Amino acid sequence: MKARVTVTLKSGILDPQGKAIEGALKSLGVDGVASVRQGKVFDIELSGSDKAKAEAALKDAADKLLANTVIENYRVEVLS
């Protein structure tokens, strides 16, 4: 099974990297960029075919390591 965990900064958390990217996009003349927040994507392959079990394992992975829940939110998707 293929799965994806997306980790993003919580709203209200200062994101200097996002700000720098935003500034760079604006200086490149990319139209209509209002703001940028950056984050991380983890593409994970799982053995087995139990979707519920996979979601539980990914949630466990995100809580234990992939995200720092003090400042980050995460979203778990089992893709196939």
Partner 1 sequence: MKSAVLVFPGINRERDMARALRLISGREPAMVWHAEASLPDGTDLVVVPGGFSYGDYLRCGAIAARAPVMDAVRAFAAQGGLVLGVCNGFQILCEAGLLPGVLMRNAQLKFICHDVHLRVERSDTPFTRGYNAGQVIRVPIAHGEGNYEADEETLKQLEGEGRVLYRYCSPDGVVDDASNINGAAHAIAGIVNDRGNVLGMMPHPENHVEDIMGCTDGRGLFAGLVAHLENAA
Site of interaction with partner 1 (CB under 8 A): 13-14, 16-17, 20, 64-66, 68, 70-71
Closest CA to 35 of 54, 56, 21: 21
Q: What minimum distance in Å lies between the beta carbon of 22 and partner 1? A: 12
Nearer to partner 1, 42 or 46 (CB): 42
Q: Are 78 and 55 in contact (CB under 8 A)?
A: yes
Q: What minimum distance in Å lies between the beta carbon of 14 and partner 1? A: 7
Nearer to partner 1, 31 or 64 (CB): 64
Q: For residues 14 and 8, give the distance between their C-alpha atoms in angstroms, rounded to a whole number.
A: 12
